Amino acid sequence: MNEDRNTTSRLLKGAAVLSLAAIVSKLLGTLQKIPLQNIGGDGVFGIYNTVYPFYTILLTLATAGFPTVVSKFVAERHALGEEAGKRAVLRIASVVMVALGAAGCLLMYFGAPLLAAWIGSSQLIPALRSAAPALLFVPLSASLRGYFQGLQNMTPTAVSQVTEQAVRVAVMIGLLFYFTGIGGSEAVIAGGALAGSAVGGAAGLAVMLLYWKGYRKRETTGRSGRKRGDSALAEVQPGPARDESVPALITVGKANADRGLIRELFRYAIPICLASLAIPLLNLVDTFTLPRLLNNGGDELRAMVEVGVYNRGIPLVQLVTMLASSLSVLFIPVLAEMNLRGDREGIAKQTGLALRWFWLIGLAASAGLALLAEPINVMLYEDNTGTGTFAWLAWTAAPGALVTITAALLQGLGVVRAPAVHLLAAAALKALLNALLVPRLGISGAAIAGIAAYAVAAALNLALLLRRAGLRPRLRDAAVRPAAAVLAMAAAVALLRLAGDAALPPGRLAALAESVLGVLLGAAVFAAAAVRLRLIGGAELAALPRVGPKLASALRKLRLLR
């Protein structure tokens, strides 16, 4: 019993460590785009955001799935006490991943001119080549992370992830200042920014190698005592007669075992990898369509500036989906356990609760970002260029949050492939709509295409999930009441903006005040309206950690909550 409790405690602690590291890493990765645009400008911002999805695709192909599979195989061999088996898994996985990473690096570096021609802009060549070396470091880090995760030691993964991201951002900002200071072109400055990925990858690998060195040292020290005890016994035990054919048999057996392990690694890793490719593929659609569609007059740099303006709103939308992604994983083990027990009532209750909360969070975020698009744009990027596109992009947060939570809930119910297929269909729709809308509407057309693509993926996931969970939501609860809460928030924020525009002089500080106050007021009004309209129950609100009981008590005193 104590052993089970200790195991559960280690798992919960490890999950908390990994979740915190993932949130910090994603925050750094998302927010670093703001100084990137501020220092480098929209042209550099456009080049960076055009190249980065392609780099992400190659990184996903080289690493996604393998850490999870390595951790699984290592955990199995660790439970059986097979030390040699654990090391064989790490050795083979490392060789495979380093080979894949090296292939990706060579493809990205030497194929940069051809890739830039396919995308439609020669401005991308320095950036593609600068990002390529990262693929030499990150795959080996991923295999080592999988090894330690298999031992239920999540700290090395967490520390290396945060170190990698922090070093990447620091180097990126330093090189941005350096190249802008010497008057480098937009292509060169963007290349410097992406060089941070390689330095960050090397730093993350260095951290993992330090943990590995310490682990091997402890293992060697632990075994040395046992070896001294065994050596005396070995001296008095008669050994078997020497068979010269044994080394050859061992070599053949080892080669066969290695090939079998490689097959098993790929058999488990490929489905995970394909599922992980879905969202990067959606972003890759813009990489391969926008530069060419926007480059009607032959001005490649101008097209990159437009791509940069288009990407202004994406970091904030990604913060919403990042929050949804971090919280959604909590539902997977709960639903998996209920599904195993056949608890249909519990599945329906948990699914309905998760869908309602994430729909409300996504809807409030989309409406709030759209209403405050202009002051947020000025606050973060100094001017209001592309505010209309920013507002359109904001409306991808709501369907994006639904895509994230529905995919997690389906995974908890054992449905893994369907969400990936739905996102692939969404990517195809995004490409088609980009081709139809961008020539007519410019970058706003790409934003509208994104709303449609995410909405289709969310609708497909939702239809399958409702059928599996046996849910039939009412239109009043799913649409009418949330719309009323959004209207209340919109009215409050609109009045605040009118008052702010009348009382404050135009500028970045005024935009900062208007944005912060607008977010706070909008969130408070939306939450109060949601409670008043019974979209959120008192028991649900009180169940929130720490702040929930106090908030519920305060709302009851104001007679907003029963």
Spell out the per-residue pLDDT of the chain, length 562, in tens.
454 455 445 555 555 666 676 677 777 777 788 888 888 888 888 898 888 887 877 777 766 667 777 777 787 777 777 777 778 888 888 888 888 889 989 998 999 999 888 888 888 899 999 999 998 998 888 888 888 877 777 788 888 888 988 999 999 999 999 999 898 888 899 998 899 889 999 999 999 999 988 888 877 776 655 555 554 434 444 444 444 444 444 444 455 556 767 777 777 666 666 666 666 777 889 888 998 898 876 677 888 889 889 988 888 888 887 777 666 656 666 676 677 778 788 788 878 888 888 899 899 999 999 999 999 999 988 888 999 999 999 999 999 889 888 887 887 787 877 888 898 899 999 999 999 999 999 999 999 999 999 999 999 999 999 998 888 888 888 888 899 999 999 999 999 989 888 888 888 888 999 999 999 999 888 888 887 887 876 666 665 545 556 666 776 776 666 6
How is residue 11 written in tokens?
């798992």
Q: Is the dihedral of CA 18, 22, 24, 25 positive or negative?
A: positive
How is residue 126 written in tokens?
């320095």
pLDDT of residue 40: 87
pLDDT of residue 542: 60
Q: What type of residue is 431? A: A
End-to-end CA distance of the chain: 42
Kindly provide the b/e burial profile for residues 148-171, where b requires at least 16 CB atoms within 10 angstroms of the residue's own CB. bbbeebbebbbbbbbbbbbbbbbb
Neighbours of 473 (CB within 10 A): 14
> How far apart, in whole angstroms, are the C-alpha atoms of residue 223 and residue 217?
10
| Residues 71, 147 contacting (CB under 8 angstroms) | yes
Closest CA to 180 of 191, 169, 168, 196: 191
Kindly provide the b/e burial profile for residues 94-116, where b requires at least 16 CB atoms within 10 angstroms of the residue's own CB. bebbbebbeebbebbeeebeebb
How is residue 433 written in tokens?
């709509």
Q: In the chain, what is the greatest distance between 2 CA atoms, to the nearest angstrom?
A: 97
> Cα–Cα–Cα angle for 33, 425, 121, nearest 5°?
45
| Residues 398, 364 contacting (CB under 8 angstroms) | no
Q: What is the CA radius of gyration of the chain?
A: 26
pLDDT of residue 38: 86
Q: Does the global pTM surpass 0.85?
A: no
| Residues 212, 73 contacting (CB under 8 angstroms) | no
Q: Which residues contact 553 (CB under 8 A, 6 or more apart)?
A: none
pLDDT of residue 540: 62
pLDDT of residue 244: 47
Helix axes 278-294, 300-310, angle to 10 degrees: 140
Closest CA to 469 of 550, 350, 317: 350
> How far apart, in whole angstroms, are the C-alpha atoms of residue 543 and residue 524?
18
| Residues 108, 55 contacting (CB under 8 angstroms) | yes
Give CA separation, 548 vs 16, 388, 529, in Å: 20, 36, 17
Q: What type of residue is 37? A: Q
- DSSP conformational letter for 535: S
